[in-house]
Structure 1
Amino acid sequence: MFDRIVDHLAGLGAHIAVVTDDLQLTYAELAARVASCATELGGKRRLILLETRNDVDTLVSYLGALAGNHVVLPVPADSDYGSVLDVYDPDTVVRAGVTEFRHRPLHELHPDLALLLSTSGSTGSPKLVRLSRENLDANAEAIASYLDVRRDDRAATTLPMSYCYGLSVVHTHLLRGAGLILTEGSVVDDAFWTSVRRHGATTFAGVPHTFELLDRIGFDEMDLPDLRYLTQAGGRLAPERVQRFAELGSARGWQLFVMYGATEATARMAYLPPELARDHPASIGIPIPGGAFTLEAKDGMPDDVGELVYTGPNVMMGYAHTSGDLALGRVVDQLRTGDIARLRNGLYEVVGRSSRFVKLYGLRIDLQRVEARLQADGVDVICTDGDGLLLVAAANAEDRDVARLAEVASGLPRAAIRVIDVDAAPRLPSGKPDYPAVRELAADRAGAGSDSLDLRDLFADVLQLDPASIDPGQSFVDLGGNSLSYVTMSVRLERALGHLPAGWQSLPLRELQSTSRPRRWWGATLETSVALRATAIVLVAGSHAGLWVLWGGAHILLGVAGYNFGRFCLTPLPRGQRIRHLRNTIAWIAIPAIVWIAFALVVTNDYTAANLLLADKFLGPEDSMTAGRLWFVEVVVWVLAALALVCWLPIADRWERRRPFAFALAFLALGMALRYDAFGFGLGNEAWFTVLAFWFFAIGWAAAKSSTVWQRLAVTVVLAIGIVGYFGQPGRETLVFVALTLLIWLPAIRCPSALTVAAGLVAEASLFIYLTHYQVYPLFGEHQLVGVAAAIVVGILVTQLVMMLRKLIRVRGPRLLRSQAAPAPR
């Protein structure tokens, strides 16, 4: 059907395809609208983001996009899909039937790719499932076959079209020439049931929560003469409820199909034949036509139990994490479901989920089992883990002791259980449990009134934010952290948690809080970038003071600056936030530098007016040795300013998001061209101390964006080629090469905690040590060691003073503004 949608629809002629409360379309009329939409979208293949509602405009836009051989990315209307929009940069956005062509088609799209879906109906994550036309056809045919969908069937759309289950209802009924009753109504609305009766609905689909609602509204007493069957998927329905609805259907003349599936399988993998539901209510049944299951043995599991692995033509092409992945073909041929199952009497039964088994207090806990036990006691709960505890979000608990019930169900001590009272258990738009929301609620409640670890105050202090404004779901990067605040945060976080988790800067606060562990003096983690920053600034100060001759520290710092630029400025955040982060980073460097230069101009003869603009290398004087001391600060500021302009361009922003390593590599190529004077500037050794040393910055940037061994190897090779002969001093070249190679290949080192703290203090103060040491060490004459030590101490003290001033401004500034704005007493 999906290869010839318009022809398929047109061939069904005058039969009714779609009905709403105020509209009716035949298949021929629907075909005409779909063809018109496909024409409007144009012949060149596009990536189309489609805001979905259960209405005719959405249906026509969806089918029209597929008919035009475009790739569709459905998202719920009125949802927050900003991260998906930023990461994938769709060529076209369709809202309420209105098409917005954002730019000409830029994406490389695999010929088989047809549909992109978020897993479990979520919309906030840029991780998408890639589905082909073959996937859609195979799954629709299989489902229509075992459900026996007929031309006189009519399905009420109880689920969103952005969700694979909701789309599968659309696909199967259009495939067989059946009708769709498009409605946004809920099963708790009287208007929904009026529409069901008026239009003769023969079926509708539900997730477990739908069936809970049916129980509450007296569904078993409803008169629905046209109803032929119900379908259930989207999570496990309690066996007693399966049994009860199966018996109800048998008495009322309709059937219950319990189904099992995943977005990664386009929709369905298994179904339970209705005649077996009453006697085998805990089973997911048998594979759909064309599919097959195997059980893969797992350590610690009985012989007849294993992970359920599915194969079939409906298995996805693979995941997409960035727009570059849209060019990929099929990368998987089987689906590891993550569910633990067994085969009994020819039927598969899921007994747990690998990701739902957690180890708490030394016990292996089946969260699904605990949840089911509590629900059997009449409590509406969602169970998950967080902060090393069992988290139980409980609604309608009334006078029940939920903690005691959870204690019995899990075998955990009371101290390991945290009950969160909620008005309603958090759920995704698909109706599935929203486990991250439960963890977020637990973090919020903990921050509001418990003694457990709360990192919001720590993050607020370092980033100069109001603690109340920090969302536990945000990360250091999301909150505006940059390369300067990173060192402070990493040191203080290591102290708070007892270790430094890998990639902590991108982890939400609530996840960081759950990683706390006892601190050991010998087991601290020190990031290589921090270690290099501390070492390099000590080398710079010591070499300038004449304590030793180990040049190259500033060029190491330049590489570290590029590395941090790649990590903290080029993040998945929207373009506007990226530019704000860049602007703040530039200000953090430039403003202190200008203030110190202004002070030094008054008390010394070290600088000239050109230094106030951080432009000595542009404006001169060329013969001033002291005025050229700040070349490193000038290079970093002007490079960041130039890159901010580049990243502000939408086309550059899109390219960087699609190909982050290639984008960095392009700028590294530019840096190498400048290094070898390919443009004929003829600067010679002057390039050592100007923005033409940019290639060191670009090396660090490319290192930050390299994610494979081959990419890191490529960056290392470029570094090796570029460094040879650059200074004409083999020792200096070796020092810089070794340091930046460590940055490329070794993300962190283990060392005593005391050394981590010391290195963190020095690295944190590296900017102010660099700015002030020229004026400090000369005060100690021939006592170079004392002079260098004093310069480092002064830099650390100035850093702490600046942080205190910033904190004071953050705390007292708003109060002062409020007091000035308040009316004078009369």
Structure 2
Amino acid sequence: MTGVLEALRGHGDRIAVLTETEQVSYTGLADRVADAAGRLGDTRRLVLLETRNDLPTLVHYLAALAGGHVVLPVPAGRDHHELAATYDPDVVIGADGLRQRRPGSAHSLHDELALLLSTSGSTGSPKLVRLSRRNLISNATAIAEYLDIRETDRAATTLPMSYCYGLSVIHSHLLRGAALILTELSVVDDDFWTLFRRHRGTSFAGVPYTFDLLDRIGFATMDLPDLRYLTQAGGRLAPERVRRYAELGAARGWQLFVMYGATEATARMAYLPPELAADHPGCIGRPIPGGAFTIEPLDGWPADDAAGELVYRGDNVMMGYAYGSADLSRGNEVDALHTGDIARRRPDGLYEVIGRSSRFVKMYGLRIDLQRIETALRDHGVAALCTDLDERLVVAATAPHRPAEVARLAADAAGIPSSAVRAVVVPELPMLSTGKPDYPAVRAMADPLDDATAQAEDLRTVFADVLHMDRDAIDPDASFIDLGGNSLTYVAMSVRLERALGRLPADWQRLPLRDLQGRTAPRRRWIATLETSVALRAVAIVLIVGSHATLFELWGGAHVLLGIAGYNFGRFCLTPVPRKDRVRHLRSTIAWIAIPAVVWVAVALVVTDDYYLSNLVLANKILGPHDSMTAGRLWFVEVLVWILVALAALCWIPAADRAERRWPFGVAALFLVAGLALRYDVLGLDLGRDAWFTMLAFWFFAAGWAAVKATNPWQRLAVTIAIAVGLYGYFDNPNREALVLAGFLLLIWLPAVRFPARLTVVAGVIAEASLYTYLTHFQVYAVFEGHPALGVAASIAVGVLLTQAVTLVRRRLRERKPSVSSVAVPAPR
């Protein structure tokens, strides 16, 4: 790796890196690397690098290698005090830039040593793997060969750069002059796929959990025209899933490479050729180019079984382990890697792993030391035994600890999501007659249903209350969106979770309930986070009611609400799920709005003269009468319902659904342009503002939709300009235009605000009740004629009380409804 700069420059002006905002050539990357290498100096030093999948991290990593330094990559945002104390790095590179702790080096570094990687992923263990320049080059060359990486390939960084698998993607692609799509986004994010398609991504890598996420988002139906292959490693993928993805790839024109490896082998030891994956999904395949396997006898394993410990040899086998800084001067001490896996070689030459012989397990791409997890729990006062079952960490602990608490501590120690832990609490830990731990008994205790209840005991109740579902029907592995959450229930859920967790995790609506459990953040006593869309919703409904009741005159709140509705449509209804689920979600959202509106109009028709039959079908703007006061009272609900009905019909069309998935911002922008064309009547249709009011107002909804799909500052700026242009002259009152523009600017550019905690609760309650407040306020404030302040307060209070009453009724109905488990099923005759 001494010739890093020369290798980069050798690829000339080919594209090396693509991000959301930048495109960097190999020559440009080499210039940046050279500049960073100069800042690191000529003396070889130990560099601790906090990694993110971004350009600065990549530049600093390559600069350290180019300068001959030894790099210790660690995941950003975690506690690395133990590693720093053990290895005493000379240089630390983090979010705040490059910090030199001393002018030279405190270490004696072996000439061949290039990289230090943790054997346990992100658990912070001081035990590190020592890798040489030869190790890195050998493994990158082998991977590039069997994957047939080409200069035209573009790989997305779906794995952390601190993980050997993630680094292997970078090494092998840079070696061949291919491009990297650098992103921190997850495969569950719409923006990831937008970026992947825009940069014509050809491959990405995944651990088994990645494939769980791909199943959840409907990957099988995605249109990815440039995808050439997927790679999978980081743990065993179930054979049936290997076969399914191999067959899917064959049908869609891409390949699946199942791989086997370890940090101690720099990354890869074996791969299963794609053409064999469907027929031999349980195999790890054959050794990588330049590597070799042997099967060696193992104590306690039958000698006549033709199976034994899998041992690997090759130039990518590590130099050895390091346990402290003194080990950094040691040379190559390992020529064969004993994997600890029990395997056999089949007659066709393929290898298959049939068991494990060690106390290590592999999950989520991490090699986890079970003994270390037990020790970490003991340090927290929890006596426990740890094992694994079906790609889950199983923990048995003694009372009085709660299962959720044990699961959280174990997940934190292992560096995995709490959804990967099954915790049970027992009076005493199971032991064999010899006094040794009885791990099979621990596995037998891991009842998935009991564990699911323990994991999400508190939050399941919150989800059930907000979504009006049976508590037992709440799947701990499902997210808010998976469970049918929409823009109406989103407000209540965000406020309830803010109280429960202390602070909302980013993109919480997409996280499985299990992952939310245990994410309690340190609470700030007086300050809390409120999403801008929720704050705007509360402010907008107050402005609407206050203006109608003549307490003040600040018009424009309804148009801001229409923009928020479009924003939430893009966020909740156009998620990466199968087309049928999208349409089902839209139907549910329409029902949440239309049914209360129709019921209220029916009541009002009986006791007042405020409405006509056309209001009952939410079509007063279309059917008239157009000269009555009723024509304007429920226009917002009418517009919103018919927009959603039209879009539900559009989403049902397969071609339209595919287009939106492939170009989410482009499709939203197209609808915004169409809405503006109607606003300016560019076709000379002379639509007017009565019967065609829905079409004229659509552009506000489309603007919110485009805003949420805008993934970079330039797109957000384009949407902002379009809104500003569209608003100019739309209303007769410039103040109204300024108010609506201000609301959209906040929605686009400021995702969340910090408010006093009590104020956020009040705002959340008002925002949650906005629909019922809007429906009823015309009749409520009229009772307080001459007292507009009382009328406004009463309108908001009635809306809140109605919302709470409806929630209570739904909860009571849910509680009275017998669960499936309590219904007696007659025996078959």
For Structure 1 versus Structure 2, the TM-score category normalised by the shorter chain is 0.5 to 0.7
C-alpha spacing 1:618/1:161, structure 2 compared with 1 (3 Å): same
Aligned to 2:557: 553
Which one of 389, 408, 420 corresponds to residue 409 of structure 2? 389
* Among 540, 545, 561, the residue aligned to 1:541: 545
Any idea what the Cα deviations from partners look like across 1:196-226, whole Å, max 9, x if unmatched? xxxxxx97889xxxx9xx766x33354x5xx
Pair 1:271-2:317 in alignment = yes
Question: 2: CA distance between counterparts of 1:203 and 1:819?
Answer: 56
Aligned letter for 2:527?
A: G
Give 1:593's aligned residue.
Answer: 597
- TM-superposed deviation, 1:759: 0.4
**How many pairs were matched up?**
561
Map residues 158-169 of structure 1 onto 2, 5 A cutoff: 166=283, 168-169=285-286
Residue type matched to 1:219 in 2? P
* Structure 2 residue 713 is the aligned partner of structure 1 residue 704: no
| TM-score normalized with structure 2 length | 0.57
Residue 822 of structure 1, CA deviation:
10
- Report matched runs for 1:243-322 at 5 Å: 257-258=311-312, 270-271=316-317, 283=320
Match of 1:220 among 300, 303, 310: 303
- Matched to 1:810, the amino acid is R
| Counterparts in 2 of 1:690 and 1:370: CA distance versus 1, 3 Å | same
Q: Contact between 2:203 and 2:229, CA under 8 Å: does it hold in 1? A: yes
Return the alpha-carbon distance in structure 1 between the equivalents of residues 816 and 619 of structure 2: 35
| Shift in Å, 1:574 | 2.0
Give the distance between the partners of 2:558 and 2:627, measured in 1 at CA. Answer: 21
SS at match of 1:707: coil
Q: Structure 2 matches for 1:398-437, cutoff 5 A? A: 401=429, 422-423=442-443
**In the alignment, what sits opposite 2:804?**
800
Residue 779 to residue 84, structure 1, CA distance change in 2 (3 Å): same
The answer on whether the counterparts of 2:206 and 2:231 sit within 8 Å (CA) in structure 1 is: no
What is the alpha-carbon distance in structure 2 between the residues aligned to residue 544 and residue 585 of structure 1?
Answer: 27
Q: Corresponding residue for 1:184?
A: none
Counterparts of 1:164 and 1:344 in 2: how far apart (Å)? 35
TM-score (norm 1): 0.57
Task: Indicate the SS of the match to 1:531.
Answer: helix
Q: Describe the shift of the 1:746–1:258 C-alpha distance in structure 2 as closer, same or farther (beyond 3 A).
A: same
Q: List alignment gaps of at least 5 residues for structure 2.
A: 1-201, 262-267, 340-359, 377-383, 396-404, 415-420
For 1:461, the equivalent position in structure 2 comes to 465
Corresponding position of 1:370? 372
User: What secondary structure sits across from 2:529 in the alignment?
Assistant: strand
1:493 corresponds to which letter in structure 2?
L
Q: In the alignment, which residue of structure 2 is the partner of 1:667?
A: 671
CA separation in 2, counterparts of 1:220 and 1:395? 37
Give a deviation string over 1:667-718, Cα, whole Å, max 9, x none.
Answer: 2222122122123221355599533211111111122222222222222122
Letter of the 2:311 partner, please give it.
F
SS of the counterpart of 1:632?
helix
| Aligned CA distance change for structure 1 residues 204 and 464 (closer, same or farther; 3 Å) | farther
Three-state SS of the structure 1 residue aligned to 2:559 is: helix
Which segments of 5 or more consecutive residues in structure 1 lack a partner in the other structure?
A: 1-70, 92-105, 141-146, 150-154, 177-201, 225-229, 231-244, 247-255, 260-267, 273-279, 285-294, 296-300, 307-340, 359-364, 410-418, 427-436, 448-452
1:769 partner amino acid: T
Residue number in structure 1 paired with 2:720: 716
Deviations 1:5-49 (A, max 9, x none): xxxxxxxxxxxxxxxxxxxxxxxxxxxxxxxxxxxxxxxxxxxxx
1:821 deviates by 11
Work out whether 1:562 is the aligned partner of 2:573.
no
- Partner AA of 1:108 in structure 2: P
Q: What secondary structure is seen at the aligned counterpart in 2 of 1:690?
A: helix
Q: 2: distance between equivalents of 1:304 and 1:357? A: 29
CA 799–372 in structure 1, closer or farther in 2 if over 3 Å, else same:
closer
The whole-number CA distance in structure 1 between the counterparts of 2:519 and 2:216 is 31
Counterpart among 683, 699, 704 of residue 695 in structure 1: 699
How far off is 1:554 after superposition? 0.2
Cα distance in 2, alignment partners of residues 618 and 632 from structure 1: 13
Cα pair 1:532 1:739 within 8 Å, conserved = yes
On the 8 A contact 2:546/2:552 being kept in 1, the answer is: yes
Aligned residues with identical type, % of pairs: 45
Alignment of 1:191-230 (within 5 A): 218-222=301-305, 224=306
Report how far residue 366 of structure 1 moved.
8.3
Instruction: Please report how far the alpha carbon of residue 573 of structure 1 lies from its aligned counterpart in structure 2 after TM superposition.
Output: 2.2
Provide the secondary structure at the position in 2 that maps to 1:798.
Answer: helix
1:746 aligns with 2:800: no
Deviation at 1:818, TM superposition (A): 9.4
Distance 2:705 2:496 in 1: 25
Question: Shift of residue 115 of structure 1?
Answer: 4.6
Q: Is the partner of 1:589 in helix, strand or coil?
A: helix
| Greater shift in the superposed pair: 588-597 or 464-473 | 464-473
Runs (4+) of structure 1 exceeding 6 A deviation are 71-77, 79-82, 123-128, 130-140, 162-165, 202-206, 346-350, 352-358, 383-386, 392-400, 815-823
Give the partner amino acid of 2:490: Y
Change (3 A) 1:711 1:347: farther
* Distance change (3 Å), C-alpha of 1:302 and 1:423: closer
What secondary structure, in the 3-state scheme, does the structure 2 residue paired with 1:787 have?
Answer: helix
Q: Which residue of 1 aligns with 2:507?
A: 503
- Contact map agreement 1:156 1:204 (CA 8 A) in 2: no
Give distance in 2, aligned partners of 1:75 and 1:755.
43
One-letter amino acid of the counterpart of residue 655, structure 2: I
Structure with max Cα Rg: 1
How do 1:671-682 and structure 2 match up within 5 A? 671-682=675-686
Question: Please, which of 605, 610, 614 is the counterpart of residue 610 of structure 1?
Answer: 614
Counterpart secondary structure, 1:750: strand
1:649 aligns with 2:653: yes
8 Å CA contact 2:293–2:312 kept in 1: the answer is no
- Check the 8 A contact 1:571/1:578 in 2, yes or no: yes
Distance in 1, matches of 2:566 and 2:315, equals 47
Q: What displacement does 1:503 show? A: 1.2
Aligned match for 2:454, one of 445, 448, 465: 445
Distance 2:530 2:312 in 1: 52
Measured in 2, the distance between the counterparts of 1:553 and 1:774 equals 15
- Tell me how far apart the structure 2 counterparts of residues 688 and 523 of structure 1 sit (CA, whole Å): 45
What CA distance in whole angstroms lies between the structure 1 residues aligned with 2:440 and 2:498? 29
Measured against aligned partners, the alpha-carbon deviations of 1:102-125 in whole angstroms (never above 9, x if no partner) come to xxxx64326xx3455476454889
Q: 1:523 & 1:659 partners in 2: Cα distance?
A: 38
2:226 aligned partner: 109
